[in-house]
């Protein structure tokens, strides 16, 4: 019997909640935004409206928080994508969560990720 991947903690880095509206946009022809819900030095989780395949074949994302913070071409790999249960039982809005692992980051991108965590996160997830 194989272990459930959602029950085993495989992360190498501590995750931090992101309470402010921070979004990720896949680098592809047409894409919708996703809300970043947590982040670490190794990856992040995003939630998006369940309307279509959010990530597609994209292998990089842009990250932005209002007009104050912007990172571009952050290399990523899709770890998992699953439907999120609605907190309100009668809601017709369906969300999915996509868990991403960062690829090899440049030293500038690593600094920006660290800055994002320090500035826009709110403690452990």
DSSP helix/strand/coil, 60:
strand
**Domains in the chain, please, with CATH?**
16-120 (2.40.10.220)
- Binning pLDDT at 50, 70 and 90, where does residue 111 land? very high
* 84 C-beta neighbours (distance < 10 Å), count: 13
pLDDT at 91 over 60: yes
Within a 13 Å sphere around the CA of 60, how many CA atoms are in the beta-carbon half? 12
Average pLDDT for 93-104: 93
């Amino acid at each position: 019997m194989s272990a459930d991947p959602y029950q085993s903690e495989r992360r190498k880095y501590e995750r931090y909640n992101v309470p402010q509206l921070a979004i990720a946009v896949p680098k592809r022809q047409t894409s919708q935004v996703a809300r970043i819900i947590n982040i670490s030095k190794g990856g992040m989780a995003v939630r998006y409206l369940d309307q279509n395949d959010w990530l597609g074949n994209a292998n990089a994302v842009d990250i932005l928080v209002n007009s104050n913070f912007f990172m571009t071409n952050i290399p990523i790999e899709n770890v998992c994508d699953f439907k999120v249960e609605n907190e309100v039982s009668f809601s017709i809005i369906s969300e999915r969560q996509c868990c991403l692992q960062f690829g090899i980051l440049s030293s500038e991108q690593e600094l920006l990720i660290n800055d994002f965590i320090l500035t826009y996160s709110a403690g452990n997830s």
